[in-house]
Amino acid sequence: MDGGEWVTSRSCVLHDRNSLFCLQLHVLDKYYDKKLLDFFLYSFDVRNGPGSEDYYQLWVTWEKSIQEIAVSDCSAFWKFIATNWSKNTQKLISGFVKVPVCTDGKIILSKKEDVFIPDDLLLTDLFSKLSQHSFFICPCLRASLNCIYDTIGVQRISKEVTKNDSFTLDNYRFRTIDPSKVIMVGLLKIILSFLADPALDIPAEERHRMVSCLLNVTVQESDEPITVGYSVRLSSGEVVDVKSSRMLRWEREDSKLYMQSSDGEPSYKEKIEFATYFTE
């Protein structure tokens, strides 16, 4: 057969609908009509398309040979993984060394130890602003894949970050104010709504107990924002630092609330920020 070769049926598939395996497998629908494809399927047990092990080998090849992946190829790959999720697939991909991140509109592969699941909005915003690093799983791939990334060993940013808390009273000039000017009914309702998030799994009685402690706090106010630093260590040993100016600091044990002053009643945005910090 001129220009052809004999190959095993295992190295063939009838279709490769996403055109990912042109270098790894022999795709028969490029060469034969449908009647012959059915013949290969039933007589030689040629597979209809690539399976989980093929996708595993493809990713390993990408890890070793290329750094940038087309968005369409990467999306097709992870769509297959999510659609065909099983214990076998889980076992296979647990050996992945690199995962996809976005940088300058491109998808590149980065060590999984240096990539994080963005499960905290504040931390995600702070670290995303650093131009020298891409820290988070590519946004176009995150929708329902966090549990899969967990399997690979990608850590959540909230678990890996270290809080560099240099807060001391000596750094600020505080004045005591009337708690009722800060702890208002609307704010308490917003905090209760945050605590009612099913993901937090806090019983109603415990939620009300937590909020009630705000009714007996000492509120200390300063004109300066309270600065908090966060850091994360990469696989190279490099430590990346970011800083955030926040509205308040809640000292539960001392029942004291240290906060930045605001003009008049807090805006809705400030209330949301307040509630977010409190529920931490």
pLDDT tens string 113-161: 999 988 877 788 888 888 777 888 877 665 568 788 888 899 988 889 9
Are 217 and 256 in contact, with CB atoms under 8 Å apart? yes
Q: Per mean pLDDT, which range of 96-110, 125-139, 228-242 is the poorest? A: 125-139
Q: End of a domain among 160, 189, 221?
A: 160
Percent of the chain with pLDDT over 90: 32
Q: Where are the alpha helices (DSSP H) in 2-94?
A: 34-44, 52-65, 71-83, 87-93
- Residue 60 per-residue DSSP state: H
Task: Please state the pTM of the whole predicted model.
Answer: 0.70
Query: What's the structural domain count of the chain?
Result: 3
Could you tell me if 199 and 118 lie in one domain?
no
Query: Two tokens at 237?
Result: 């040993």
Could you tell me if 34 and 72 lie in one domain?
no
Could you tell me if 122 and 36 lie in one domain?
no
What is the structure's pLDDT at 199?
63
Could you tell me if 24 and 89 lie in one domain?
no
pLDDT tens digits, 77-98:
999 999 999 999 999 999 999 9
Q: Which long-range contacts (CB under 8 A, 24 or more apart) does 263-270 make?
A: 265/184, 266/182, 266/187
Please give the residue range of the domain that contains residue 24: 9-44
Helix 52-65 × helix 71-83 angle, to 10°: 150
Could you tell me if 239 and 259 lie in one domain?
yes
Residue 68's DSSP bridge partners are 108
253 occurs within a structural domain:
yes
